[in-house]
Structure 1
Amino acid sequence: MKNTHLNRLISFVMMVAFPNIILAQIKFTYDNAGNRTKREFNASLVQLDAKVLLRGGYRAGQANMATDLQTYFSANSGLLPATDPYGGNVTYNNIGNPAGAAGSVVDWIRIEIRDAVNPAVKLQSKSLLLKPNGSIVDTDGTLPEFVGQSSPVRVAVFHRNHLAVLSNSIAAFNAGTAAYDFTTALNKASQLPGDAPQMGSVNGKWYLWAGDVTNDLSVDATDMSIATNDFLKGIYDQYLLTDATLDGGVDASDMSLMNVAFINSYYSTLTNYVP
């Protein structure tokens, strides 16, 4: 088509049929740049309205998380990669543009839907985008959708350099919208007896601990060593795992933030559910 402003419609029907998962149909609409602009789904899918905060995204005097990585160089040029860093092969070509479909973005994030009784069982996984207020959206700016389950589930949230969290059981996850807000209370994050506190708080809101550079569900000496090396090199202007403050560089602020979790030996309760 000669008119580059016309949308091209791509219909994709996904039929899924295996234990605990309900049949579903999804239809996507894309623009000529390859960005998804619209999504239609039937009642067998669930919209997840989840909210989570990252300690590294906070700046003094700001109510929401900063978007330094999105607009690092200019209003339309940042450090966030167009393809997600979790191996999900999800692409958002307007990742550096706050006026894009997803709006202002802090970073990529990953959601896993897990079995409530046995959280080691992963049912679904999606790479998504984190908004400054903690909301998690898909690349078209809408709430992410997951195939409905006939039994209770838990939601696991992963970030590339913060400790992952696991929700408590969500009884109904078979249609409509399921809401889960980790920011409202410490007990919104599941933890077994004896586990370290799964989140910290600032200004009455709860956030994920920063510093899991190796993504092994704990903040330990290895994480600190890797971050120290980057700190001593004075690395900046890059999308780095060691950039705990999510501002595009590794400095004393990153080390200070990571040190809190390291000294307290913080780890994710998800270590109890590694397959």
Structure 2
Amino acid sequence: MTESPKLDGTTDNDPSNDPTVLLIPCIKSKVTLTGAAICSADIQTYSITFSVTGKVGAIKANRGVLTGSNPYTVVGIPSGATIKITDSLSAVCKFDTLITGPNCNCTPALPILLTTSIISCIRDTFSTLKATVFGLATVEWYTQATGGTPVFTGLNFKPSGNVSANTVFYAQARSTDPTCPTAISTGRVMATVNAQDCSLRLLPKVYLQGSLFGVFSGPLMRDDLRVKNLIPRKSPYVAWNPITAADTITSNTVLTVTGADAIVDWVFVELRDADDSTIVVDSRSALLQRDGDIVEVDGTSPITFNTFASADYFVAVRHRNHLGVMSQTALPLTQVVSTVDFRSATTPTYVLANSPIHQSQVDVAQGKALWAGNALYDGQVIYQGTDNDVNVIYQQVIAATGNPFFLPFYILAGYYTGDINMDGEVIFQGTTNDVEYIYQNVINNHNGNMLKQNFFIIQEQLPK
């Protein structure tokens, strides 16, 4: 036994006074993941959570940010990168555990829609739906929430066709990483197209002079054509190339209505450009009620146009054997119903020039009305002379299939332009003949014909 020297130079033979040396074994610890790696929402990084069994020293990670204490969490690890977890007691006693990270491109995140809900006008084309994705991925667009075949692949999708009702599309992400081309997002996000009726709405009001002949008081026109079942279900203005299609009466009840809302005839309404009133922006057929309201083919509703833009428009009303009329100025039209009342003498109307020979409408007991007598429908009412309207009445009567002897006093029943007084009969000679109405308009009813000339021409006051 060796004696331990003391500080005073003597020796100590007691072994209990010898120093103690602590020996710690360097046994490898075990790192265990507590769950699967989690990719971040932008799939650029991933995170892991782990615990250490038999930890020998300090825990460190070579990537990301380490937090916690058994269990530990590391966030911000680059996608696909391998992380090294080190359990270190000393330079000679430390253990490394390598964990291979996931390729987050193979677990694509849901697409992010720039707009999840948009409003589109009925009859308009669809707006472009836009989405973004993270990492190596694209977007597949579907018309159903699950299953089905994509209708388009790409970030920007413009559906074909026109909006007719609320429509929903669904977007999912698909990986474009060549190592996992079949990987898709765990679900689909919904893009809703909300259909809205953006049509301009208008309730024009007008009188037809022909339907007021014989009406000396009261605000209602005659509806002889309806009573005699002569009004066609199909508009007579199809050949005028209407821009808004509304040319057929589909309901059996429209022409059975009586009273103020009974239908008198078809009319044609135009919206003209505010900067150039010769340009027709939109046009359509419509129905005229006895009280002067111009309504939809359902017989009651204000008329609508395909034009969506709320703006100022000149409003014109035309008829198959009357001269048309137009507002003097462009009027503001929106989706809220607007009214222009051409029946009223106070409503300013367009004239070709400021002269007595230019009268946009005729004075009637009820106010103002469209000039009757344009049987040729050439924008003029002519009693005598080239292209006179009297000859149209004559030709319709003489050429009638029911008039084999070409009798000038034959009465032609039906829906014809020569029926100036709108009673369902074309009469060239005899009582209540239609020629007389043209004569009276030209000779007596127009203030510009001061000399009472038979060949005076009443001109339609519409810009050409």
TM value normalised by structure 1? 0.76
Higher RCO (C-alpha 8 Å, min separation 6): 1
Report % sequence identity: 27
Contact 2:261 2:290 in 1 (8 A): no
Contact 1:116 1:153 in 2 (8 A): yes
Q: How does 1:16-165 map to 2 (within 5 A)?
A: 42=196, 44-58=198-212, 59-61=214-216, 63=218, 64-72=220-228, 78-87=229-238, 90-93=247-250, 94=252, 97-99=255-257, 104-140=262-298, 141-146=300-305, 147-165=307-325
Match of 1:260 among 440, 443, 461: 440
The Cα of 1:233 is off from its aligned counterpart by 5.1
Structure 1: state its 5+ residue gaps. 1-11, 18-23, 28-40, 73-77
- CA gap of 1:269–1:103, structure 2 versus 1, over 3 A, is closer
Give the SS at the match of 2:426.
Answer: coil
The Cα of 1:211 is off from its aligned counterpart by 0.8
Residue type at the aligned position of 2:247: V
- CA gap of 1:186–1:208, structure 2 versus 1, over 3 A, is farther
- Residue by residue over 1:154-175, the C-alpha shift from the partner in whole angstroms, topping out at 9 and shown as x without a partner, is 1111100000111122342133
- Show the counterpart of 1:38: none
Give the SS at the match of 1:69.
Answer: helix
Structure 2: state its 5+ residue gaps. 1-120, 127-161, 166-194, 398-407, 444-448, 450-456
- CA gap of 1:115–1:249, structure 2 versus 1, over 3 A, is same
Cα distance in 1 for partners of 2:163, 2:341 equals: 27
- Residue by residue over 1:62-120, the C-alpha shift from the partner in whole angstroms, topping out at 9 and shown as x without a partner, is 52111110111xxxxx11111000015711143873239x9511000000110122111
- Show the counterpart of 1:219: 381
1:236 paired to 2:412: yes
Give the SS at the match of 1:172.
Answer: strand
- Residue by residue over 1:194-220, the C-alpha shift from the partner in whole angstroms, topping out at 9 and shown as x without a partner, is 351111122241001101112211112
Residue type at the aligned position of 1:258: I
Give the SS at the match of 2:393.
Answer: helix
Cα distance in 2 for partners of 1:137, 1:148 equals: 19
- CA gap of 1:54–1:121, structure 2 versus 1, over 3 A, is same
Residue type at the aligned position of 1:115: D
Cα distance in 2 for partners of 1:113, 1:60 equals: 31
Contact 2:122 2:197 in 1 (8 A): no
Greater Rg over alpha carbons, structure: 2
Once structures 1 and 2 are overlaid, which stretch shifts more, 165-174 or 134-143? 165-174
The Cα of 1:228 is off from its aligned counterpart by 3.3
Residue type at the aligned position of 1:14: R
Give the SS at the match of 1:108.
Answer: strand
Contact 2:264 2:287 in 1 (8 A): yes
Cα distance in 2 for partners of 1:198, 1:186 equals: 13
Once structures 1 and 2 are overlaid, which stretch shifts more, 249-258 or 133-142? 249-258
Residue type at the aligned position of 1:90: D
Which protein is richer in helix relative to its size?
Answer: 1
Give the SS at the match of 1:255.
Answer: helix
Cα distance in 1 for partners of 2:224, 2:205 equals: 20
Cα distance in 1 for partners of 2:207, 2:294 equals: 10
- Show the counterpart of 1:9: none
Contact 1:163 1:217 in 2 (8 A): yes
Contact 1:70 1:95 in 2 (8 A): no
- CA gap of 1:103–1:134, structure 2 versus 1, over 3 A, is closer
The Cα of 1:188 is off from its aligned counterpart by 2.7
Cα distance in 1 for partners of 2:422, 2:328 equals: 28
The Cα of 1:14 is off from its aligned counterpart by 0.5
Contact 1:157 1:166 in 2 (8 A): yes
Cα distance in 2 for partners of 1:230, 1:46 equals: 39
Please identify runs of 4+ aligned residues in structure 1 that moved more than 6 A.
24-27
- CA gap of 1:60–1:267, structure 2 versus 1, over 3 A, is same
Contact 1:86 1:110 in 2 (8 A): yes
Cα distance in 2 for partners of 1:213, 1:204 equals: 23
Give the SS at the match of 1:225.
Answer: helix
Residue type at the aligned position of 2:414: Q
Contact 1:45 1:145 in 2 (8 A): yes
Residue type at the aligned position of 1:143: P
- Show the counterpart of 1:14: 123
Give the SS at the match of 2:381.
Answer: coil
Cα distance in 2 for partners of 1:96, 1:43 equals: 23
Cα distance in 1 for partners of 2:125, 2:275 equals: 22
Give the SS at the match of 2:263.
Answer: coil
Cα distance in 2 for partners of 1:133, 1:201 equals: 17
Residue type at the aligned position of 2:292: G
Cα distance in 2 for partners of 1:243, 1:186 equals: 29
The Cα of 1:125 is off from its aligned counterpart by 0.8
Match of 1:246 among 406, 416, 422: 422
Which protein is richer in strand relative to its size?
Answer: 2
- Residue by residue over 1:135-190, the C-alpha shift from the partner in whole angstroms, topping out at 9 and shown as x without a partner, is 00011120001224354211111100000111122342133121100011165321
Cα distance in 2 for partners of 1:172, 1:96 equals: 30
Contact 1:70 1:96 in 2 (8 A): no
Residue type at the aligned position of 1:50: P
Residue type at the aligned position of 1:268: E
